[in-house]
Amino acid sequence: MSAVVFPDYRIFTDAASDLGVSMMEGLPPVTVIPMGVNIGDEVHTFGPNGDLSVSRFYSLQRTGHFASTSQANPESCKAAFEKALSSGYDVLYLGLSTGISGTTNSAKMAAEELRGVYPERKIVCIDTLCASVGEGFLVREAARRQAEGMGFDELAEWVQENMLKVCHWFTVDTFEHLKHGGRIGAVSAAVGGVLNIKPLLHVTEKGVLEVAKKPRGSKQAMRAQLEQMKHGWTPDLGKLVVIGHADNPIGAINLRDQVQEQFPDADIHTADIGAVIGAHVGPGMLALIYWGNTR
């Protein structure tokens, strides 16, 4: 990689991106906007300067505490953007899919207000149609291009041209949190538990979470993820592969080893799936993210 360049704009995202620190080493800074996570009657903030760590969150989940989330509000987006704008920087926000959350709409509301205050600055908010480590994957790849000197307009165009090439394949260990969040019914959850189904889900081109297959057992679920990558990986776009896990480090190691064996050219990074997405899927989830043509 060429020497890092810091252009006159800043990239923003939200806490749902699960953007791991290790993935951003040597790249321009990305500002992460915190989001709300509610555990029972307790209201928490997840993200920079928040009061909820990943480890504590999953510890609470594993002891029977269900969680819900709230989108970032326009005020928090406005405050974050204004720090950059008042310092002379343009703003490029890459947000969680509107098929999952209204956070990106909050960012757009803030941007609309701020354009009247800073008419000389550019503010672009993009619904990435991505989620969790898939969103973080896209943000990281955008920051890499920023570091190589890509300008604001060119990068915004690149994101919109390539975001649907980010493939997300998730397996969920338990149906309980999907049921609690209303994403599946009680009967389906009960049947899935009895049959030891570990559903394979993906983020569609519309940015919504959808069940693709219903493998039985963790080994078959992981095999299904790898089959999707075999059919769709396009390393010409980039060799980055992100493995995300929800308090499942052993599963992440096993999946990483399988990817390394079958795709030796892959540049593999492992990241925690944080509290925002974890609230809906529960502990044990594994995600496989890569550039591909099988969204």
Q: Which residue, chain included where needed, has tokens 């510890």?
A: 59
Q: For tokens 């394979």, what's the residue?
A: 200
Q: Where are the alpha helices (DSSP H) in the chain?
A: 54-62, 74-85, 103-117, 132-147, 152-162, 176-180, 186-194, 218-232, 249-262, 275-281
Query: Over the range 148-184, which residues count as b (16 or more CB within 10 Å of their CB) and which as e?
Result: eebebeebbeebeeebbbbbbbbbbbbbbbbbbbebb
Per-residue model confidence as pLDDT tens digits over 135-177: 999 999 999 999 999 999 999 999 999 999 999 999 988 766 5
The span from the CA of 218 to the CA of 197, in Å, is 8
pTM of the model: 0.91
Domains of the chain (ranges, CATH numbers): 9-163 (3.40.50.10170), 165-291 (3.30.1180.10)
Q: What is the pLDDT of residue 192?
A: 43
State the DSSP code for 267.
E
Size of the chain, expressed as the number of residues it contains? 295
Q: How do the pLDDT tens digits run along the chain, 295 residues long?
A: 445 555 699 999 999 999 988 889 999 999 999 999 999 889 999 999 999 999 999 999 999 888 999 999 999 999 999 999 999 999 999 999 999 999 999 999 999 999 999 999 999 999 999 999 999 999 999 999 999 999 999 999 999 999 999 999 999 887 665 555 555 544 344 334 434 678 899 999 999 988 888 898 889 999 999 999 999 999 999 999 999 999 999 999 999 999 999 999 999 999 999 999 998 888 999 999 999 998 8
Burial of 232-247, coded b for 16+ CB within 10 Å and e otherwise, reads bbeeeebebbbbbbbb
Q: For residue 197, what pLDDT is reported?
A: 74
